Structure 1
Amino acid sequence: MRDFYDVIIVGGAVMGSCTAYWLAANSDFDGKVLLIERDPTYATSSTALSAAGIRVQFSNKVNVQIGQFGTEFIRDFPDLMEVDGDRPTLGYHPGGYLFLANTEAQVRILRQNHEVQRTEGADVVLWDADRLKWAFPHLRVDDILLASYGNSGEGWFDNTGIMAGARRKARALGVDVVSDEVVGITRDGNRVTGVTLKSGARVGAGTIVNAAGPRGGKVAHMAGLDLPVEPRKRTLFVYDTADTPEGTARVNEGRLPLMVDPTGVWCRPEGRFFVAGGVPRNDIPPDYDDFEPDHPEWEDQIWPALAERSGHFEALKIVRSWAGHYDYNTFDQNGIVGRHPEVTNFIFQNGFSGHGLQQGPAVGRAVMELITYGGYRTLDLSDMWYERIAENKRFLEQAIV
């Protein structure tokens, strides 16, 4: 490890690893990069504990575009991440997403979102209850007013694989990766100048990138900056059913999608099992080290919603469960990307509110462009600027799962 780096990235999960990769892979960038991760096992990282989905069904066009690029990135992953002949793949499962609406307010949101998605060329269709029942016969649809289904460009994949592949490639391209924790950030006026590590080391920086996930608010505070990002716990349950509906669909070669019920409960196939989750009724920020699954959530919220939606989900058995953290943007549940307006060599890459895994490739490339070129060259993420917080201009994302 050197005494000074042109770019120090705080957080080595998917956001930080993808940013490091894009910087190292770009011949126009000739600086040195340090990637710092506090947990070398990544056991409690949001990336490793996520549901590993990717979709284009968002309410804002930039999030649709990010999802579209993410699918391309997954497709090209073996070529991009090849190291010494090893070409990693991500086991992409093109299952699609299915959003269900049973109130007029939900219908209005689905239709508004669909207009945005179709304008951006997303392969998404709207169905009435009859078409929904034909496509997925296992569902009870008497209360459904409208459904939105992704024909292509949506699914799930290897969450740790995308992080590990990007990090390994970045290292092969010259990025220094260390297992340590940033405990302090130094400033000289309106410039950050370096970091202090838990090990006692002090390292100078030309630019600092905050990719610390749920701890992003803490990292910003070390630099004397405010960031409305905090952890929110999400429990995932893997369950078995005696009468699986997998293979009964009349679309997508029989594959079932990730279904988002009007209650907010969601489920999708996971091998021979299913995985499900939802939004806790008491959705408060947990302690940073609290990863205890919320077991009552299964009985109180998730199982009842699943059983109501399909007879195949009435008799279920929990196989395992775990909890992870969203890096939750309390302001508008959308990513915060870009330079601080005053401390301009401090860059945010935070607050993706559960979408960071799928958005890491595009956001990492965008941050690379900011550092290398001073502006965006591919996707324009300027709507995600930090300034909107100070100006109280919400860039609300309605399609939160």
Structure 2
Amino acid sequence: MGSAKHKTYDVVVVGGAIYGSAVAWWLTQMDGFEGRILVIERDPTYTNASTSHTNSCIRQQFSNRTNIQISRFGAEFIKSFRRYMGGDPEVPHLTLQSYGYMYLADTPEFAQTLKESQAIQMAEGAQTRHMTAAEVAADYPFYQLDDIIAANHNLVDEGYFDGGTMFDWFKRMARKNGVEYIHDEVTSMTLNPQGTAVDSVTLKSGDRIACGTVVNASGPRAVATARMAGLELPVRPRKRYTFIFDAAHPLDRDLPLTIDPSGVHMRSEGKYYLAGCPPDVDPDVEFDDFAFDHSLWQEKVWPIIATRVPAFEQVKVINEWVGHYAFNTFDQNAVVGPHSKVANFIFLNGFSGHGLQQSPALGRGAAELIAYGKYRSLDLGQFSYERIEKNHHFVEKAVI
């Protein structure tokens, strides 16, 4: 455990993984903002953080314009990473492996949804292509497509990238720019007498830190952090499984990140392949529950990928892990911005699997709110906590 250098901070960030570090770094980029920033992280190894278990993908294939705009900026940020980091020659260039997402539709209704989403994506500048099964077969003859009616695919700025390096440099450059990180844990919060602001946070070490703004960036533990301020948040840990496998008969070209109608997804992973899925029964779990369901591969994943890609009849799992989605049970989209009553409590939660790819834009948006009291780049108002209070769902049809 380490002690904070000061007793008062303008911004206290609870959680130092991708979102805590993104908002901290972005705050150092806000013109005129000179506040003191403290990031509190309970596990600086990040062993069980969702950031450490991510598959590092980015897509523009959403149905909601705001989500598309967020990913368009995310792709720009990745491709211009060194420039955004100030041009430091030590900052690596990030590569966006753009072999795209391939959404496969096996019903007329799903095919129509894909077609409508493609029109929205194209209007926002994405290069998504709506394809017949014959067109998919011409480009990717390894698929078995007897049940497929249509598909959407995008080969521009959509695929995967090195999310671990992006996170590492958010953290490094935040520190270089004066952000303070400590290894400790927030155990409680004290509100002012009116209950309209968090005055201070108390740490496991016993230290008490006064704060101007609190940012909840605690991933799957977000509900516990919110409850310290007397607030409720519909975000719970949900397990998501990933398998890395070798194929006896490798494909002759890249495998797009293919979303099978069953919900199983798969893609190229260097010389190997990656597959993943939610469990058939998908309950809320404890934040420290990483028990692995070893039957999932044999009973669900492998039969589906071997049916869709017959070359995958002979494969061998070489690595596997389970991580957590910070799953927003309300509408499976982010909650960003202040609470309606406790106005200095900022949510940055509930990404439901979209977190890493959305961190450049949503980290920037949260920093703008803190520094200026409003969004200056993208309008992220649809993600407000107020929508939960008013029962207004953020509608996004493309959720994996």
TM range (shorter): over 0.9
Residue 225 of structure 1: aligned partner: 231
The yes-or-no answer on 1:381 pairing with 2:380 is: yes
Aligned letter for 1:80?
Answer: Y
| Contact 2:16/2:40 (<8 A) preserved | yes
Moved more, 92-101 or 225-234: 92-101
Listed as ranges, the matches of 1:132-143 within 5 Å are 132-143=136-147
Q: Please give the alpha-carbon distance, in whole angstroms, between the structure 2 residues aligned to 1:194 and 1:361.
A: 28
Residue 329 of structure 1: aligned partner: 328
Residue 284 of structure 2: aligned partner: 285
SS of alignment partner, residue 320 of structure 1: strand
CA shift at 1:85, angstroms?
A: 3.9
Pick aligned residue for 1:179 from 183, 188, 192: 183
Residue 242 of structure 1: aligned partner: 248
Aligned letter for 2:199?
Answer: T
TM-score (norm 2): 0.96
Residue 250 of structure 1: aligned partner: none
| Contact 2:82/2:89 (<8 A) preserved | no
Listed as ranges, the matches of 1:1-400 within 5 Å are 1=4, 2-81=6-85, 85-188=89-192, 189-247=195-253, 255-400=254-399
CA shift at 1:309, angstroms?
A: 0.4
Q: Please give the alpha-carbon distance, in whole angstroms, between the structure 2 residues aligned to 1:342 and 1:107.
A: 43
CA shift at 1:301, angstroms?
A: 1.2
Moved more, 112-121 or 168-177: 112-121
Deviations 1:161-213 (A, max 9, x none): 11110010010000001111111111112111121111111111100011111
CA shift at 1:93, angstroms?
A: 1.6
Q: Please give the alpha-carbon distance, in whole angstroms, between the structure 1 residues aligned to 2:233 and 2:65.
A: 24
Count of residue correspondences: 394
RMSD over aligned CA atoms reads 1.2
Q: Please give the alpha-carbon distance, in whole angstroms, between the structure 1 residues aligned to 2:160 and 2:103.
A: 16
| Contact 1:25/1:173 (<8 A) preserved | no
Q: Please give the alpha-carbon distance, in whole angstroms, between the structure 2 residues aligned to 1:192 and 1:246.
A: 57
CA shift at 1:83, angstroms?
A: 8.3
Residue 252 of structure 1: aligned partner: none
| Contact 1:237/1:322 (<8 A) preserved | yes
Q: Please give the alpha-carbon distance, in whole angstroms, between the structure 1 residues aligned to 2:87 and 2:188.
A: 34
Runs of 4 or more above 6 Å deviation: none
Q: % of aligned pairs identical? A: 46
| Contact 1:83/1:172 (<8 A) preserved | no
Q: Please give the alpha-carbon distance, in whole angstroms, between the structure 2 residues aligned to 1:186 and 1:323.
A: 35
| Contact 1:335/1:353 (<8 A) preserved | yes
Q: Please give the alpha-carbon distance, in whole angstroms, between the structure 1 residues aligned to 2:204 and 2:167.
A: 23
CA shift at 1:89, angstroms?
A: 3.1
Q: Please give the alpha-carbon distance, in whole angstroms, between the structure 2 residues aligned to 1:155 and 1:216.
A: 28
SS of alignment partner, residue 217 of structure 1: helix
Deviations 1:322-375 (A, max 9, x none): 010000000000111111111111111111100100001100100111111111
SS of alignment partner, residue 53 of structure 2: coil
TM-score (norm 1): 0.96
| Contact 1:246/1:256 (<8 A) preserved | no
Mind listing any 5+ residue stretches in structure 2 that lack a counterpart? none
Q: Please give the alpha-carbon distance, in whole angstroms, between the structure 2 residues aligned to 1:100 and 1:83.
A: 40
Q: Please give the alpha-carbon distance, in whole angstroms, between the structure 2 residues aligned to 1:322 and 1:341.
A: 38
Q: Please give the alpha-carbon distance, in whole angstroms, between the structure 2 residues aligned to 1:173 and 1:323.
A: 34
